Amino acid sequence: MVSGSVVKRAFRFRFYPSAAQEVELLRTFGCVRVVYNRALEVRTAAWFGEQRRVNYVQTSALLTEWKKTDGLGFLNEVSSVPLQQSLRHLQSAFAAFWEKRARYPRFKSRKRGRASVEYTRSAFRWRDGRLTLAKMAESLDIVWSRPLPEGAEPSTVTVSRDPAGRWHVSILVETTIIHAPPTDHVVGVDAGITSLVTLSTGDKITNPKRERRDRERLARAQRALARKEKGSHNRVKARLRVARVHARIADRRRDLLHKLTTRLVRENQLVVIEDLAVRNMLRNRSLARAISDASWSDLRSMLEYKCGWYGRDLVVVDRWLPSSKTCSDCGYLLDTLPLRVREWTCPGCGASHDRDVNAARNILAAGQAVTACGAGVRPTRR
């Protein structure tokens, strides 16, 4: 019997708004930003001034009052759904902060970051494969790079514009993903810097050489930006060129990670990784850029949800496991193993080891031991 998982999955597409649609969306972006920042200001003042928490219901009531004032009457010109959703997002941000899963929420900036608004089912129309948002007369001109699952009905639509000026729409649907056929293959994954990842099979996956060309292009664009006068139109255009190079680098990195994680999940029944403290490791100034480029957090996130989708097992072993300096053949443990040493010979059994391959094999062995004991397995999201 073929089994599967019912999941909520987002499909992201590029679209090209008309002049009227762009004006409406930019106006909505601005209103969402104003509502979010005002609500954050109220909640911050209440907490630090009175040690009082303000919840979503109270900020929603404040939004109703703001719409009645002369200075904020423009909030009535856009759909109310994205405004309410921004308050829900702020509530989620505070919940994550109280549970110590995230930092204190920050104010949204007009000039920096990715602008986005979220529409729920009552604020858009989906008919015959065409999407029309509230306050708009025409449907969006979406480039359908892949089809939506047959019979899928969107529940939420998120419209965004990245710093490079590209418009995207993310459509959330509920669909069933068939589990991959069972297999006996298992793999340990060691995330690294010289190689993106090293597998227990001995394979090493490196970033493509074109990454260096992208970095050179970025450096030239940043130097050109630094020479432009602040506040000038030329500086705006130069900043856009820098953003486009960043977007190109991010797209290529994301594409590589998706292909890699999909391959690992489809080929192996068990995938074992390390529980890396990426935020702490970024404090090392010598390695921060290389660690950021490797996107270890994104790699882990993709493995987690894809293992859940395709019926695979993901085990996360302790970050303090001495995987690099333990002999995978006899278990001999070195006292120290400097980062510059990439190959070493075991004093116990004389086996020669590649540092990263040896670490991946030890990670796999630890994951298999955890699985056999039935404890310490990190549940995958399904």
pLDDT score at 116: 95
Q: Kindly list the distances between the CA atom of residue 269 and the CA atoms of 57, 65, 150, 231, 331, in Å, as whole numbers in the listed order.
A: 45, 55, 28, 55, 25
pLDDT score at 170: 97
Q: Which amino acid is at 378?
A: R
pLDDT at 379 over 50: no
**Which run of H or E residues covers position 174?**
strand 167-178
User: Residue 265 in contact with residue 181, Cβ under 8 Å?
Assistant: no
Helices (H) and strands (E) in the chain, counts: 9, 14
pLDDT score at 377: 45
In percent, how much of the chain has pLDDT > 70? Answer: 92
- Average of per-residue pLDDT across 70-97: 95
In percent, how much of the chain has pLDDT > 90? Answer: 70
Phi, psi of 163 (to 5 degrees): -60, -20
pLDDT at 361 over 80: yes
Kindly report, residue by residue over 294-340, the tens digit of the pLDDT: 678 888 999 999 999 999 999 999 888 898 999 999 999 999 998 88
- Average of per-residue pLDDT across 252-275: 93
Name which of 40-44, 223-227, 273-277, 356-360 the model is least confident about: 273-277
Kindly report, residue by residue over 251-260, the tens digit of the pLDDT: 988 999 999 9
- Average of per-residue pLDDT across 171-197: 90
Kindly report, residue by residue over 16-36, the tens digit of the pLDDT: 999 999 999 999 999 999 999
8-state DSSP, 333: B
pLDDT at 213 over 90: no
Using pLDDT thresholds of 50, 70 and 90, give the confidence band for residue 87: very high
Q: What is the mean pLDDT of the chain?
A: 89
- In angstroms, the CA 287 to CA 273 distance is 20
Instruction: Report, as residue numbers or ranges, the catalytic residues.
Output: 190, 274, 356
Place of tokens 């006899």: 330
pLDDT at 280 over 70: no
pLDDT at 355 over 70: yes
**Which run of H or E residues covers position 375?**
none
Burial class (CB in 10 A: 0-12, 13-18, 19+), 192: buried
pLDDT score at 376: 45
pLDDT at 209 over 70: no
pLDDT at 378 over 70: no
